[in-house]
Structure 1
Amino acid sequence: MPNYRIGIDVGGTHTDAVVIDENYNVVAEVKASTTEDVSSGIYDALSKVVASANVPVNEIKHAMLGTTHCTNAIVERKRLNNIAIVRIGAPATLAIKPLVGVPDDLREMLGKHVYLVRGGHEFDGRTIAELDEEHLYKIAHEVKGKVDSVAITSVFAPVSADHEQRAAAIFQEVLGDEVALSLSHEIGSVGLLERENATILNAAIVKVARTTASGFINALQQEGIHAQVFFGQNDGTLMSVEYTVKYPILTIACGPTNSLRGASYLSDRADALVIDVGGTTTDVGVLVDSFPRQSFLAVELGGVRTNFRMPDITAIGLGGGTIVRIAEDESFQIGPDSVGHKLPQKSLIFGGDTLTTTDVAVALGIVELGDPSKVAHLNKELLQKIYDRMIEMVEETIDKMKTSQEPIPVILVGGGSVLFPGELQGASEVIKPTNAGVANAIGSAISQVSGQIEKIFSVDELGREKTMELAKDMARQEAIKAGADPEQIYIVDFEDVPLAYLPGNATKIRAKAAGPLFLN
């Protein structure tokens, strides 16, 4: 029986959907407007693409969603969980309380139940203080019925997670399985405050992830589709619904990474720079072995500094709906604001009253769209200057993202990619693949499943070779948990950094394994 997949990706302007067959050929593609509530735009795109594909719904076996629900919840401060924040680290960490540096409005929402407990470890794994289990039981009884999520962070948990795991067992015993537990060693890397912040945000968006997942499954069932559901995560791979609800923070920034993965597949390139031109922004990222290059910097999310893994993406305020303002002296400003999904109502070529970058491209004969007579009166010389500046903005970003002076291949994708020419400075070639407009949805549909660990190991205990193999095996197990086929998993990223200031020949190892979906 044929095996079809649905891939959906939610962007700032459009929600794109594709149906692909088992050979990854695109059977149908649609673009629907992204809606304020996000969900209705997803359902609209889903029903349109299923109707357009015209394949038996019982042959659609998998559905993949790349969504902005969790990002929006943090940025808009809406629909967040009632959480308890537990830091295990007294007496060593009392000087700086949890949520320091977090914006006041978010601290007020999330900081109602904050606790500091005796325990935690030193950088070399020695215990700072014995874990105060009595205090943990007391906290668990105190928050019972008041919170639906708990964020647990212990000092140097990436070195030793014992105290976090014991705390989790106590909370589970008292609060039951309904209350979600987020453990910092599973989410962030070394660096207490940023890891704690990432864990707090993860705990705060569990409810949003659950609602999104059940809404998506229900929408599929309304179309008669009983498919296995996966969510896109921000390293360009997929995770199961259970994994998503446990680590919803990993869905953040999955949109640009889906575009990178889709661009890699459509162009058959493993190493290139990808420019994804949407309606609101242009995202630029780098492919390394078909996966997005990861960022090594702390990331701000909704004003909160965190250190969980994120793709290295630069976004500029330039897209198909970007507003262009011209002053009386013929000086101009491009963006950063956009008409977004209202392009068909607002732009000049469609009878609106707002000059957009798409109008500029149509007036100059670069794009065929709408009614060109509505922009024929505009000053062509000035428009050419505006267009040249648009290209400069992209070329400057290419320059920032490259790691050497050498030109590299550039893949242009996204609905707004038609705005740009076939030659760009800094690019050895510019590739515009077929189906480039829905590369993000294709990236979502074709993605593999991955697992990653980042942990400090003492190499002296097992020896270098065995330690490396242990780390790789832990990454493989994570990938299997997330839904990968155990027979086809391979290591896609491995990095070890010796830590000179730690005893025991300590080394920080990051390992990532990936493989195709386990088709059962």
Structure 2
Amino acid sequence: MKFRLGIDVGGTNTDGVLLDRNMNVVHSLKTPTTGDVETGIYNTINQLVTNAQADVENIEFAMLGTTQCTNAIVERKNLNKVAIIRIGAPAGTAIKPLAGVPDDLKAILGNYTYMVEGGHEFNGDEISSLNEDKIRLIAEEIKGSVDSIAVTSIFSPVSKSHETQTEEILREVLGDDISVSLSSEVGSMGLLERENATILNASIINVAKKTAEGFEKALNTKGIDAKVFFCQNDGTLMSKDYTLKYPILTVACGPTNSLRGASFLSDNKDAIIVDVGGTTTDIGVLTKGFPRQSSIAVELGGVRTNFRMPDIHSIGLGGGTIIHLEDDDQFKIGPDSVGHRIQEEALVFGGSTLTATDVAVALGKVTLGNPENVNHLNRDLLTAIYQRMTEMVEESIDKIKTSADNMPVALVGGGNVLFPDKLKGAAEVYKPENGGVANAIGSAISQISGEIEKIYAISPENREEILNSAKDLAINETVKAGADSENVEIVDIENVPLAYLPGNATRVKIKAAGDLAI
């Protein structure tokens, strides 16, 4: 029997699952997340293989979803020194690079910011020719001082020639080992947000490398020789090489994996997914089995960006959320959490901290730990706390809906047992079997995807030809990322006329997905 191994590293638990070739769950489990990636992953893999009595030689694919890159940006840890090159002088110099970026992050990235002549108009015409000599001078200046380089050119999603020329010159001077991030491959339209996304991508290259190597080492230690893939935040996979080039795409892959896993487990392709973890509850919407994408610029670590992100609404409520009791029977729910220390700190496990899990156990909603440890608590107060917890989830469901109609709701994640089987705004509430490890299942079942976004001058005469050409580009991107060329299909098409630009300018965004090439 051949297997797929799915791992999802969260802030509280590292979840693991083994699936057979027919996508049946062979075994699943949770282990506490450790300070270093490798140990927690190894513990999960070791227990999975041992408990399932699976032959490691039969594990074909191994998929990892991780929050390491997100945490590095938010916590400002282990980030690269980044040289920032904007191609767009003299037209694009009014607002300097890193405008609006928090000072503490600027200090970590270093003071290596450059403006160079070049860039394009929306229709692909040059604003001015690229100043190649200045690029060479910059390369000499930053040699040995930075870990990676972020290159952004005006309207590079339309024409990326100046960015690719710049990369060629940088590699001539600095060698092929230097990491270069091009904005045309990272972000969307909008110069400043795309530039910020590219800078963040360049800043987490080393974190992604360490994470990838830790995953491979954990697999090798257990004798597993499988094809390795990493989860990205649109619910699909990418190869190791692709991950090391675009680590920013792993941001928010945890909630996305839960959405995809919930869709698979509940057999629902259009539903609201409520993923209850140890620290937060993440609510998202599935459309045709894939997460609904955010249509607005996203802030990450205080930085405004515009790269692809799922539309996720998060609240500070999970199994480990601390309940603060105040005078006169008043209380405050979170947002702080005991996280992965729940088995030491929660009352039902012999600790001294009142958590959301303790409330649910005391009211008989779930059986866990030692219920006698919470018998002394005021039942009326607990009922009021539980009611407010439920209302917080119901309000979040209401916020993420785009119509007043009730929708199916799937409750997944380790804390899904905390909430009732009926919720306001839900046509039906699903609590699927193995929902506690929906995130790991989501990583294991994922397909490979590719996406393109360009501005075209579209007229009624050339519309079909241009869209077909764009579809071919998206399919080629998908195959390049590791998909089987025989079964790639287009899963999403957007074409939006841009009224503020002349010449029938239309933004075309196409996404394709397909099964792994075996």
What is the TM-score normalised by the length of structure 1?
Answer: 0.98
Q: Given that residues 153 and 164 in structure 1 are in contact (C-alpha distance below 8 angstroms), is that contact kept between their aligned partners in structure 2?
A: yes
Q: Which residue number corresponds to residue 379 of structure 1?
A: 378
Partner of 1:259: 258
What's the offset of the Cα at 1:34?
A: 1.4
Per the alignment, residue 452 of structure 1 pairs with 451
The alignment partner of 2:415 has SS state of helix
Tell me the SS of whatever aligns to 1:425.
Answer: coil
From the superposition, tell whether residues 277 and 184 of structure 1 become closer, same or farther in structure 2 (CA, over 3 Å).
Answer: same
After the TM superposition, which residues 326-365 of structure 1 pair with which residues of structure 2 at under 5 Å, given as runs? 326-365=325-364
Corresponding residue for 2:389? 390
Residues 461 and 478 of structure 1, relative CA distance in 2, 3 Å threshold: farther
Partner residue, 2:241:
242
Which stretch shows the higher mean deviation, 248-257 or 51-60?
51-60
User: Does 1:170 pair with 2:184?
Assistant: no
Paired residues for 1:41-52 under 5 Å: 41-52=40-51
For 1:148, the aligned partner's letter is: D
Does the CA contact (< 8 Å) of 2:49 and 2:55 recur in 1?
no
Contact 1:85 1:111 in 2 (8 A): no
Partner SS state of residue 125, structure 1: coil
Partner of 2:316: 317
Tell me which residue corresponds to 2:215: 216
Question: Which deviates more, 124-133 or 281-290?
Answer: 124-133
Q: TM (normalized to structure 2)?
A: 0.98
CA distance in 2, matches of 1:232, 1:356: 31
Q: State the Cα deviation string for residues 188-210 of structure 1 (Å, max 9, x = none).
A: 11111110000011011111111
> Are the aligned partners of 1:124 and 1:502 in contact in 2 as well (CA < 8 Å)?
no
Corresponding residue SS for 1:309: coil
**d(CA) in 1 for partners of 2:131, 2:460:** 29
Three-state SS of the structure 1 residue aligned to 2:187 is: coil
Matches within 5 A, 1:100-499: 100-460=99-459, 463-499=462-498
Say whether the 8 Å CA contact 2:81–2:110 is kept in structure 1: no
Whether the 8 Å CA contact 1:161–1:185 is kept in 2: the answer is yes
1:504 deviation in Å? 3.0
Letter in 2 for 1:162: S
Residue deviations 1:329-353 (CA, integer Å, cap 9, x gap): 0011111111111111111111111
| CA contact 2:158–2:455 (8 Å) conserved in 1 | yes
- Give the distance between the partners of 1:442 and 1:166, measured in 2 at CA: 41
**Cα distance in 2, alignment partners of residues 454 and 264 from structure 1:** 27
Secondary structure, aligned partner of 2:35: coil
The C-alpha deviation readout for 1:462-497, integer Å capped at 9, x for no partner, is 810011111111111111111111100001111000
Q: Is the 8 A contact 1:275 1:410 kept in 2?
A: yes
1:40 positional shift: 2.2
Equivalent pairs counted in the alignment come to 518
| AA at the equivalent of 2:50 | A
| Cα distance in 1, alignment partners of residues 107 and 376 from structure 2 | 53
Deviations 1:349-374 (Å, cap 9, x if unpaired)? 11111111111111111101111111
CA distance in 2, matches of 1:85, 1:149: 9
- Tell me the CA shift for residue 173 of structure 1: 1.8
Show structure 2 runs of 5+ residues with no match: none
Partner in structure 1 of residue 66 of structure 2: 67
Q: Does the 8 A contact of 1:454 with 1:510 survive in 2? A: yes
Residue 98 of structure 2: aligned partner? 99
In structure 2, C-alpha distance between the alignment counterparts of 1:81 and 1:492, rounded to whole Å: 35
Q: Which moved more, 1:454-463 or 1:366-375?
A: 454-463
Provide the C-alpha distance between the structure 2 equivalents of 1:185 and 1:157, rounded to a whole number of angstroms. Answer: 5
Is 2:38–2:217's contact at 8 Å kept on the other side of the alignment? no
Distance 2:461 2:153 in 1: 25
* Cα deviation, residue 176, structure 1: 1.7
Supply the AA of the counterpart residue of 2:152.
Answer: T
Q: CA deviation at 1:57?
A: 0.6
Distance 2:241 2:64 in 1: 14
Return the letter of the residue paired with 2:102: P
- Bigger shift: 329-338 or 160-169? 160-169
Alignment-mate amino acid for residue 267 of structure 2: D
**1:12 counterpart SS class:** coil
* Gap change, CA 1:61 and 1:170, over 3 Å in 2: same
* Cα distance in structure 2, aligned partners of 1:148 and 1:332: 48
**Change over 3 Å in CA distance of 1:302–1:39 after alignment to 2:** farther
Q: Provide the rounded CA distance (Å) in 1 between the counterparts of 2:452 and 2:146.
A: 29
Distance in 2 separating the partners of 1:475 and 1:88: 26
Partners of 1:77 and 1:470 in 2: how far apart? 41
Q: For 1:258 and 1:215, how far apart are their aligned partners in 2?
A: 20
For 1:246 and 1:264, how far apart are their aligned partners in 2?
29
8 A contact 1:413–1:436 mirrored in 2: yes
| Residue 180 of structure 1, CA deviation | 1.1
Gaps of 5+ in 1: none
How far 1:148 moved relative to its partner? 2.7
Q: 1:39–1:93: structure 2 CA closer, same or farther, 3 Å change rule?
A: same
* Shift of residue 38, structure 1, vs aligned partner: 3.6
The answer to whether the 8 Å contact 1:84/1:147 transfers is yes
Equivalent position amino acid for 1:210 in 2: K
Check the 8 A contact 1:455/1:508 in 2, yes or no. Answer: yes
Tell me if the contact between 1:148 and 1:178 (Cα under 8 Å) persists in the aligned partners: no
The answer to whether the 8 A contact 2:8-2:16 is kept is yes
Q: CA RMSD, aligned part only?
A: 1.2
- Distance in 2 between the 1:215 and 1:41 partners? 10
Secondary structure of residue in 2 paired with 1:27: strand
Report the alpha carbon displacement of residue 461 of structure 1 after superposing the two structures with TM.
Answer: 11
| Contact 2:38/2:218 (8 A) holds in 1 | no
Counterpart Cα distance in 2 of 1:180 and 1:437: 38
**SS at the partner of 1:310?**
coil
Structure 1 window deviating more from structure 2 (320-329 vs 413-422): it is 320-329
Change (3 A) 1:111 1:461: farther
- Could you report, residue by residue, the CA deviation over 1:116-141 in whole angstroms, capped at 9, with x for unpaired residues? 10011123322211110111111122
Q: Which residue of 2 aligns with 1:78?
A: 77
The separation in 2 between residues aligned to 1:501 and 1:371, in whole angstroms, is 64
- The Cα of 1:76 is off from its aligned counterpart by 1.6
Secondary structure of 2:195 counterpart: helix
Tell me if structure 1 keeps the 8 A contact 2:123–2:456: no
Residues 70-97 of structure 1 deviation map (CA, whole Å, 9 limit, x = unaligned): 1111112121122211100111122211
